[in-house]
Amino acid sequence: GQSLEQPSEVTAVEGAIVQINCTYQTSGFYGLSWYQQHDGGAPTFLSYNALDGLEETGRFSSFLSRSDSYGYLLLQELQMKDSASYFCAVSPLIYNQGGKLIFGQGTELSVKP
């Protein structure tokens, strides 16, 4: 099976850098995804790591280390609008080439002025 662990809450100030960690136990997966969800909104795709290393998309970067069963999302130059829940998710290795996502419980990020 698969399970993903994230901190439940993180608080940071505007302009700062914050890192949201995700550790996982899984029998195999294609890659690690990150989604953002504002209160009452739909999850929105942020980033995907198929391979180990760092992926950068604007102010957001994501990292994966399969040997350490660990990944993180890095948010730079924090803005108030970044206050949201952030979810890591894996797409398990199954016979029909993946599909479903298994999500962590989410990290609620609060950005303070």
Mention every residue, 6+ apart, whose C-beta is less than 8 A from residue 42: none
Mention every residue, 6+ apart, whose C-beta is less than 8 A from residue 108: 8, 9, 10, 84, 85
> According to the binding rule CB under 8 A, does residue 57 interact with another protein?
no
Stretch that binds another protein, among 11-19, 28-36, 54-62, 70-78 (CB under 8 A): 28-36
Cα 70 to its chain centre, rounded Å, is 11
**Residue 83 backbone phi and psi in degrees, to 5:** -65, 115
- Chosen residue from 38, 59, 100, 112 binding another protein by CB under 8 A: 100
Mention every residue, 6+ apart, whose C-beta is less than 8 A from residue 37: 43, 44, 84, 85, 86, 87, 106
> According to the binding rule CB under 8 A, does residue 48 interact with another protein?
yes
> According to the binding rule CB under 8 A, does residue 101 interact with another protein?
yes
> According to the binding rule CB under 8 A, does residue 12 interact with another protein?
no
Stretch that binds another protein, among 57-65, 67-75, 76-84, 86-94 (CB under 8 A): 86-94
Quick one: residue 40, left, alpha or beta (phi over 0 = left, psi -120 to 50 = alpha)? left
- Chosen residue from 11, 16, 25, 45 binding another protein by CB under 8 A: 45
Looking at the Cβ atoms of 15 and 41, the one nearer to another protein is 41
What are the residues binding another protein (CB under 8 A)?
A: 30-31, 33, 35, 41-45, 48, 50, 87, 89, 91, 94, 96-106
